[in-house]
């Protein structure tokens, strides 16, 4: 039986940056596609007029790509109402309840700082606005395992698990979903997708810019919390999971959670933390900050399929390129018939998944070059190459959450298991290593790959 669609969308934090940068453009796109058919109620602390909110929405659309359809923008604005008030004041929720009118199945989007999650969730429960409703929680979901467990407890006291949608916009990307499809839609992959044929796996998420105006936020998070524990771990789960029993999102969540539970806790020797030159001069950053803007770590998955296969993850600001890429390196043949393929400079075959800025899936293999000698070179066979996706991740995730489809969201047990992996190094970790802007991070990041060669650097 299909889940009932939400009959209203409530956006807490509607005056904030997240709404301006991501949510308004997503809602505008939904209006153009004809998929946003419910009223939208914005809630925030400032005592704004509806006219001021409309100007904020219009500015967002103009900055995100321009107003392609005046009628669509007008239609979007007509759906909005606004409630201004303190989240700790029951009167704010009473006003919200009045604005909802006949709507009985609202979706509450918490586009607010994590410190306010508990306050708003409890406020919704006390005002009886949680029955038959859904809650969409923006990351980060907790700061460690203990805080994530406490937040889960608070949320579950008000909403059932299948009504809690923990959003990670990374999972809404077309290229991420294609990993799941590629793995289980092709029979040729399964026989070699294991410890017998895979040498190592590398995942890189690089950005060629700094923290911009998010210095204060980064001081409370750092790269490990902001990117690795959520975004990159989700990619690991899709690559490492066992085949689900069916396409139902519950079956997928079960297998992803098993991957996190099989991960060995990270030790100090498994992690390298870096900080780009000049970070401590960014607005909102402490002058003696030890917060990492780069993180590289080695993961071990203690499962039958992946025992002994190292997983290398890295992410950072002000690196050489902006790109996200996966390289699944295959083991070399058991016997070296051709001397050139055994050279130290020669890499083995691999599968390469480019997730951004464009999507690509490629298979690298050695082929013989023309001539009498048995000498070859490595070439890539492209299985897929796409332009950037048309549908923004937030549009897809908002639509799915309002429809009750939890496939692209994370579940309680998976969140806690993922935090358990990094908990040992959240406080007890090596100091940050400096690195120059425009490089691939501190030189120490190479050490965790020994003896598996170096990093595959994305080449755009």
pLDDT tens across 338-382, in order?
Answer: 766 555 445 668 999 998 888 889 998 877 777 767 777 778 888
Burial class (CB in 10 A: 0-12, 13-18, 19+), 225: buried
Q: What pLDDT does residue 252 have? A: 85
Spatial strand order of the sheet with 433-435 comes to 376-386, 359-368, 350-356, 323-330, 198-206, 310-316, 294-300, 271-276, 433-435
The catalytically annotated residue of 169, 231, 253, 429 is 231
N-terminal to C-terminal alpha carbon distance within the chain: 45
The rounded distance, in Å, linking the Cα atoms of 137 and 401 is: 11
Considering only residues 411 and 297, tell me which one the structure prediction assigns the higher pLDDT: 297
pLDDT for residue 119 is more than 80: yes
Token output for 275: 């900080």
Report the SS3 class of residue 29. helix
Report the distance separating Cα 446 and Cα 460, nearest Å. Answer: 21
Q: Rounded mean pLDDT of 262-283?
A: 96
Most confident of 218-227, 264-273, 328-337, 351-360: 264-273
Average pLDDT score, the chain: 90
* 414 Cα distance to chain centroid: 14
Q: Which residues contact 111 (CB under 8 A, 6 or more apart)?
A: 11, 12, 13, 14, 16, 18, 19, 23, 138
Please confirm whether the linkage preceding 62 is cis (ω < 30° from 0): no
The closest of 236, 244, 243 to 262, measured between CA atoms, is 236
Q: Which of 207-216, 243-252, 270-279 has the highest mean pLDDT?
A: 270-279
For 29, 97, 103, 129, 431, the CA distances from 126, given in Å and listed in that order, are 34, 12, 18, 8, 45
- Cross-sheet strand order for the sheet of 8-12: 80-84, 40-44, 8-12, 106-110, 134-138, 164-167
| pLDDT for 374 | 77
**DSSP letter, residue 269:** G
> For residue 8, what pLDDT band results from cuts at 50, 70 and 90?
very high
Query: Of 352, 317, 344, whose CA–CA distance to 458 is shortest?
Result: 352
> Given this model, what pLDDT does residue 387 score?
63
- What local confidence, expressed as pLDDT, does residue 242 receive? 94
* CA distance linking residue 406 with residue 128, whole number of Å: 23
Between CA 450 and CA 66 the distance in angstroms is 48
List, in sequence order, the alpha helices (H) in 34-105: 50-64, 70-79, 90-100
155-208 residue pLDDT tens: 999 999 999 999 877 777 778 888 888 999 999 999 999 999 999 999 999 999
| Cα distance between residue 146 and residue 166, in whole Å | 17
Active site residue 231: yes
Q: What is the pLDDT at residue 2?
A: 57
pLDDT of residue 343: 54
Please give the pLDDT value at position 408: 81
Residues facing residue 126 across a β-bridge = none
Question: For 399-453, what is each residue's pLDDT tens digit?
Answer: 999 999 888 888 889 999 999 999 999 989 999 999 999 999 999 999 998 777 7
- 1: helix, strand or coil: coil
Structure tokens at 158: 């008000």
pLDDT of residue 187: 92
Q: How confident is the model at residue 389 (pLDDT cuts 50, 70, 90)?
A: low
- Tens digit of pLDDT for each residue in 44-68? 999 999 999 999 999 999 998 888 8
pLDDT value of position 332: 82
DSSP string, 366-392: EEEPSSSS--EEEEEEEEEEEPPPSS-
Give the residue among 354, 328, 213 at the shortest CA–CA distance from 282: 213
pLDDT of residue 354: 92
Ordered by where they begin, the domains of the chain are 8-138 (3.40.50.720), 171-391+411-449 (3.30.360.10)
The pLDDT tens digits for 126-158 are 999 999 999 999 877 888 999 999 999 999 999
Kindly provide the b/e burial profile for residues 399-421, where b requires at least 16 CB atoms within 10 angstroms of the residue's own CB.
bbbbbbbbebbbbbbbbbbbbbb
pLDDT of residue 1: 46
């Amino acid at each position: 039986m299909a889940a009932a669609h939400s009959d209203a969308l409530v956006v807490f934090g509607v005056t904030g940056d997240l709404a301006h940068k991501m949510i308004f453009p997503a809602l505008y796109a939904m209006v153009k596609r004809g998929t946003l058919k419910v009223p939208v109620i914005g809630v925030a602390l400032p005592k704004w007029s509806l006219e001021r909110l409309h100007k904020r929405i219009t500015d967002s659309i103009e900055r995100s790509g321009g107003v392609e359809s005046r009628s669509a923008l007008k239609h979007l604005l007509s759906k909005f109402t606004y409630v201004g008030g303190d989240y700790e004041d029951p009167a704010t929720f009473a006003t919200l309840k009045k604005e909802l009118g006949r709507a009985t199945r609202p979706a509450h989007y918490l586009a607010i700082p994590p410190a306010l999650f508990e306050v708003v969730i409890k406020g919704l429960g006390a005002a009886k606005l949680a029955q038959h409703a859904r809650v969409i929680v923006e990351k980060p979901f907790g700061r460690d395992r203990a805080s994530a467990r406490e937040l889960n407890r608070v949320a579950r006291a008000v909403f059932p698990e299948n009504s809690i949608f923990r959003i990670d916009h990374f999972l809404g990307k077309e290229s991420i979903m294609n990993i799941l499809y590629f793995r289980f839609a092709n029979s040729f992959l399964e026989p070699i997708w294991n410890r017998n044929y895979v040498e190592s796996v590398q995942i890189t998420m690089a950005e060629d810019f700094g923290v911009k105006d998010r210095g204060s936020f980064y001081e409370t998070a750092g790269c490990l919390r902001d990117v690795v524990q959520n975004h990159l771990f989700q990619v690991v789960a899709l690559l490492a999971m066992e085949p689900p029993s069916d396409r139902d999102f519950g079956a997928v969540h079960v297998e992803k959670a098993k991957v996190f539970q099989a991960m060995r806790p990270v030790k100090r020797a498994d992690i390298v933390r870096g900080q780009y030159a000049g970070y401590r001069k960014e607005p909102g950053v402490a002058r003696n900050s030890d917060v990492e803007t780069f993180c590289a770590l080695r993961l071990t998955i203690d499962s039958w399929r992946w025992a002994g296969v190292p997983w290398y993850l890295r992410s950072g600001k002000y690196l050489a390129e902006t790109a996200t890429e996966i390289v699944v390196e295959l083991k070399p043949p058991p016997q070296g018939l051709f001397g050139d393929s055994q050279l130290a400079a020669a890499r083995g075959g691999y599968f390469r998944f480019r997730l951004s800025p464009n999507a690509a899936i490629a298979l690298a293999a050695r082929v013989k070059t023309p001539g009498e000698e048995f000498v070859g070179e490595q070439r890539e066979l492209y299985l897929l190459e796409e332009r950037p996706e048309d549908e923004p991740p937030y549009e897809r995730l908002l639509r799915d959450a309002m429809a009750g489809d939890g496939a692209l969201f994370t579940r309680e047990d998976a969140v806690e298991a993922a935090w358990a992996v990094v908990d040992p190094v959240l406080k007890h970790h090596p100091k940050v290593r400096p690195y120059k802007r425009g490089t691939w991070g501190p030189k120490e990041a190479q050490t965790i790959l020994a003896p598996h060669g170096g990093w595959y650097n994305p080449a755009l």
